């Protein structure tokens, strides 16, 4: 059973201290050497909206969004081993509970940067309707290559949104999109 709750420093620090190798590779090449998990957690949850996914009562993944310019958000997520079992619930939560507020607030674009070898992230981003925009050469501290993915809100196909909304057990909240 997956439960989504607002993120706390304690829960996200626990996840950061025990994160999957693919997430560790992606995050630690972007921060100063010696950065502690609690510092990563504080940075992530202190900059915008953030949540924790609990799997069977244990904090398993953290995700969120922060504004990087007017109408543009940065998305992030990382988890412990097993977080992949939470991804469908996290995706439904975002499309059902978060996306409608973005349309109302005038959010135009959401960006995600992901390291080249994080294939599960790439698959999820594409399944959720994001498009790979470009390659970011030498993005990581050690020269790691990253990809920039983005959702252009007015261009997310209706079938992608409906796929995730209809997958919820209770899809009574409607998503209104401006064309």
The answer to whether residue 135 sits within a structural domain is yes
Instruction: For the chain, give the mean pLDDT.
Output: 88
The yes-or-no verdict on residue 155 having pLDDT over 80 is: no
| Strand ranges for 57-166 from DSSP E | 58-69, 72-79, 109-115, 131-136, 146-152
Structural domains counted in the chain: 1
The answer to whether residue 176 sits within a structural domain is no
8-55 confidence digits (pLDDT tens): 999 999 999 999 999 999 999 999 999 999 999 999 998 889 999 999
pLDDT reported for residue 177:
31
Length of the chain (residues)? 179
Residue 151 sits in which domain range?
A: 2-166
pLDDT reported for residue 167:
62
**Domain with 107 in it: what CATH number?**
3.40.630.30
Rounded CA separation 143/151 (Å): 26
The answer to whether residue 144 sits within a structural domain is yes
The answer to whether residue 72 sits within a structural domain is yes
Could you tell me if 35 and 28 are in contact, meaning their C-beta atoms sit under 8 angstroms apart? yes
Q: Give percent of the chain above pLDDT 90.
A: 74
Rounded CA separation 19/89 (Å): 19
């Amino acid at each position: 059973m997956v439960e989504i709750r607002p993120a706390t420093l304690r829960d996200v620090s626990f996840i950061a201290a025990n994160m999957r190798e693919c997430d560790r590779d992606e995050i630690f090449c972007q921060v100063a050497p010696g950065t502690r998990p609690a510092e990563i957690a504080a940075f992530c949850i202190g900059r915008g909206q953030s949540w924790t996914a609990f799997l069977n009562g244990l904090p398993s993944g953290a995700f969120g969004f922060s504004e990087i310019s007017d109408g543009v958000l940065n998305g992030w997520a990382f988890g412990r081993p097993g977080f992949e079992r939470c991804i469908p619930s996290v995706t439904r939560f975002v499309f059902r509970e978060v996306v409608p507020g973005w349309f109302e607030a005038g959010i135009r674009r959401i960006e995600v940067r992901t390291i080249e070898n994080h294939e599960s992230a790439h698959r999820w981003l594409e399944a959720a309707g994001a498009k790979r925009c470009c390659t970011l050469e030498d993005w990581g501290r050690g020269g790691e290559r990253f990809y920039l993915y983005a959702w252009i809100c007015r261009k997310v196909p209706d079938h992608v949104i409906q796929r995730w909304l209809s997958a919820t057990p209770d899809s009574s909240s409607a998503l209104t999109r401006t064309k």
